[in-house]
Amino acid sequence: MRKFFHIGFSALVLGLLFTSCNDDDDYETIESIDKIKIDSVKIINDTMDVFTVQSIKTYSTYSSHCEGFYGYDYVHTDNSTRTVTAYKYITNGPCTQESYTAPSQINFSPQQTGTYTFKFWNGGTSWITKTIVVE
């Protein structure tokens, strides 16, 4: 029993010695969140059935690999109008400064028939407008 305890204790000590104490080995800390303009929007079908789901893809260009998609602000301004603003995160890690374009998506699942207007923020006071008819 004493030999088993000695071997187990030695394994525990070795495990602790080989474990890194640096918390930042696997990820970078998000430093800030900011709006990012939506460059383009891809809607597969401009007509769809009520209670079905359609993925709407948006594309944005990030200035470095320290930035990435964070989320959307998806606002129902009335029963048929939606405004969509994309947000990016900015990390504190080392990164390449080359820009890249990446897709993100929203799943639209209408509960009523009608014509829906989507306005996607494109920078400043510009918006990309898309319409989906729900039957």
Question: Could you report the per-residue pLDDT of 74-130, keeping only the tens digit for each?
Answer: 999 999 999 999 999 999 888 888 999 999 999 999 999 999 999 999 999 999 999
Of 125, 120, 91, 92, the closest CA to residue 106 belongs to 120
Query: What whole-number percentage of the chain has pLDDT above 90?
Result: 73
Q: Which of these CATH numbers, 2.60.40, 2.40.30, 2.30.29, 3.40.50, describes 28-134?
A: 2.60.40
Nearest to 89 by CA among 39, 37, 38, 34: 34
Cα 20 to Cα 9: distance, rounded to the nearest angstrom:
19
The number of residues making up the chain comes to 135
Q: Which helix (H) or strand (E) holds 35?
A: strand 30-36
Q: Are 117 and 95 in contact (CB under 8 A)?
A: no
Tell me the CA distances in angstroms from 80 to 46, 104, 107, one per residue in order.
14, 22, 16
pTM attached to this predicted model: 0.78
Task: Phi first, then psi: give them for residue 68, nearest 5 degrees.
Answer: -165, 175
